[in-house]
A and B are shown apart, each in its own frame.
Chain A
Amino acid sequence: MIQFFLYVSVALCLLMLFSMYRVLFGPKVLDRLIGVNAIGSKTVILLLLIGLLYERIDMFVDIALAYGMLNFVAVIGAARYFHKRKGLYEESFID
């Protein structure tokens, strides 16, 4: 079972690389933000898996909960920062 958890962790890291493409080459700023959000929600699962592999799940579950909250606050803050930036995009329909 531990072996299976290891395989699931490796597969999750590969999926993170998929989202990393959108973070690196996203055409707009908010595309990068989507990638960051997706990577963060995968990281919570990865922390729980690491806790099961190390047999310290009682400690890692708190870290995962704190990381989930931190990810949420980071995404909200970044989205608010780009809220009313006129001229952030070239093809604006508000003018």
Chain B
Amino acid sequence: MLSSYVPVLVLFLLAAGLAALILGLAQIMGPRGLNAGAEDPYESGIVPTEPARKRFPVRFALVAMLFLVFDIEAVFFYPWAVVFKRLGVFGLVEMFLFIGILLVGYIYAYKKGALNWE
């Protein structure tokens, strides 16, 4: 039954081979020695305009996390809506419970000021 894994093995070998090929080519053909550009962080070939270690407000992270939570909620709504009729009252109650739990999180985030930008 292990034979069914042969494609996986082939893929693995291909990936390894490609990586080795690219690294090898870079080794052979790439320019030698260090210049100012080589020490800069790699930004798609564009000369960096400012240092990459920049601090940015933690609020971005907060918003991202809140977005994630409520986005996932929305993701759950779609399949639920599709089978809503077949689930009946049980489905309704379940979804309200789910929303209720999220609501607790929302109230928490709101009161903690996570949504205040200033």
Answer whether A and B are interacting partners: no
